[in-house]
Amino acid sequence: MKKRYILPFVLLALSSCTKDFLNQKNPNAVTIDDYFKSENDVLLAVNGLYQSLRSGSTLGESSTLYNEERSDNSGRNDNQSNAGEPFQFNDFSLLPSNTYLKTHWSAMYAAISRCNVVLSHVDDVTFTSEELKGRYIAEAKFVRALLYFHLVRKFGDIPLSTVQVTSKEQANELAVRQKESIVYEQIIKDLTEALSSNLPNTQKDYVIGRASKAAVNAILGQVYLTLGATQTSGSAENFAKAEQYLNAAYQMRTFGKLNEIPYADVFDVTKKNSCKELVFQIQYKQGDQNYSSSIARNYQARGETINSRYNSTGAGEVAKLDLIKDYEQDDIRKAFSVKFAANTQVNDWFVTKFRDNSDAAGTNGWGGNDWILIRYADVMLLLAEAKYHLGKDAEAIALLDQVRERAGLPSYATAMLNTSYRSKYPTLKEAILHERRVELAFENQRWFDLIRNYNAQELVTYFKTKSQADYGNAKISNISTKDRYYPIPFDEYKLDPARMYQNPGY
């Protein structure tokens, strides 16, 4: 039996296996080499790529630990017992031995391995339509690029594999950190090739929850925006490409102005398959014990009923007071997104952005919330950011104003007449970053926004200007320049300290 190796973290577990043992065939299992026989086999394998995204250890709804809880938006205050390791993310005390960090790394590479298996075997099947084959290839490359894009921003240099790993020797050879620039080259290659396929413009033209050209353009634009903002050379060219691809995504929308879509509709479970703002989402099945969403019940605080019929006994997802104070007066997004829980055992703000009080979800809280990865307000604000960097302030402000108008807020020009607003956000860059924070709060964008807009030292300075009283139990004073990146999980580092070198400061 051919063993599938997942780069690179299964090596230790297999170090004592013999060749004869590995070559035995399990009569109750189908090997990878024997699996791909028909178009439907490829379809099922591609479906498996999307299924891998549902996990909270990859990009699913509970993956907020690796983004929002790393940022200044949310984060748990409990640092005792089992909560100690998650607490490390927001406390800037993250250890290489953290088991949640290792799980995230392992799950992300396992999902990438699935993509590589599909791409390594798609040519084994005879297709009735080359366009269908091209679509499946494009989907696999989109998912792989998305996973690598998340990894490279969190860890920096990382191992890179684009083929199915079939032996221990091959896995050992690939278990080496590649420079960020090389990883980005592969991400761009995958996304550019995905755009050359016959993917439809929107997920509604194909299947909700699957890749589309709008989604590919949006991620490719964000990749170039990240490169423009963080790399030392080629910034103007990267910003121009960011504008190109983000504008391409924006032009694929099927509505006029953003205020045609009420903010609450974006998160309405009954409208998740029809809302025109959604570009790409991870689907969950309402009322199903195994495939339902648990975000509404998990985010709800004790004594509250706004999110779910589930009777919560915890604090829910805690929103930091620092974020609460960043909402402007009359911003409709605040009342929708957060609420103060007066229960004496909570006495804090919690997240209400994701709700399902339906009969189908019931008292178990088996919700139907989809986890949104890309939506048009996000695309518009990224496009505004790109235009700002290109000196196209008027065009950037026009996009910013659409988002503010839907939120019930005055235009940017009017807001700048307000002394408080102008002192908090003195530049257009800071105004856009603020708008992204309150528009996209708790949607796994904040940490990436911060590390795109601030280098390591600027990030430290930014956090240390905050009030500890507004930040919770996690200590702002812990942050240092090392926290720009996560540490490489210890088990990965110890495989080969030279080639899997640790990030500085850890």
> Per-residue pLDDT tens for 67-105?
999 999 999 888 775 568 999 999 999 999 999 999 999
CA distances from 251 to 191, 213, 398 (A): 18, 11, 15
Q: Is 204 left (phi over 0), alpha (psi -120 to 50) or beta?
A: alpha
pTM for this entry: 0.94
DSSP 3-state of 282: strand
pLDDT for res 25:
57
Tell me the C-alpha distance between 65 and 79, whole Å: 14
From the CB of residue 469, how many other CB atoms can be counted at a distance below 10 Å?
8
Confirm if 201 and 39 have CB atoms less than 8 A apart. no
**How big is the chain, counted in residues?**
506
What tokens does 161 get? Answer: 């594999």
Dihedral angle, C-alpha 320, 418, 331, 386, nearest 10 °:
-80
Strand partners, 308: 356
From start to end of 218-302, where are the E strands?
Answer: 278-282
Tell me the C-alpha distance between 212 and 138, whole Å: 9
Can you list the pairs that 33-37 forms with residues at least 24 positions away whose Cβ atoms lie under 8 Å? Answer: 33/2, 33/121, 35/121, 36/121, 36/122, 36/124, 36/125, 37/124, 37/125
CA distances from 180 to 190, 235, 481 (A): 15, 16, 18
Ranges of the chain whose pLDDT falls below 70 = 1-30, 81-83
Residue tagged 């690598």 (tokens): 148
The alpha-helical segments, DSSP class H, found in 94-129 are 99-121
Give the residue from 143, 64, 61 showing the smallest Cα distance to 108. Answer: 143
Tell me the C-alpha distance between 441 and 457, whole Å: 24
Helices 130-155 and 99-121, axial angle in degrees (round to 10) = 160
What tokens does 412 get? Answer: 């940017």
Give the residue from 465, 456, 445 showing the smallest Cα distance to 486. Answer: 456
From the CB of residue 210, how many other CB atoms can be counted at a distance below 10 Å?
21
Tell me the C-alpha distance between 451 and 486, whole Å: 12
Q: How do strand 371-375 and strand 278-282 relate by DSSP bridges? A: antiparallel
CA distances from 473 to 128, 192, 355, 431 (A): 59, 44, 27, 28
Tell me the C-alpha distance between 138 and 127, whole Å: 15
CATH 1.25.40.390 given to domain 1-197+487-506:
yes
Give the residue from 344, 272, 252, 359 showing the smallest Cα distance to 308. Answer: 359
CA distances from 461 to 89, 454, 456 (A): 18, 9, 9
The alpha-helical segments, DSSP class H, found in 71-212 are 84-91, 99-121, 130-155, 168-174, 180-195
pLDDT for res 20:
43
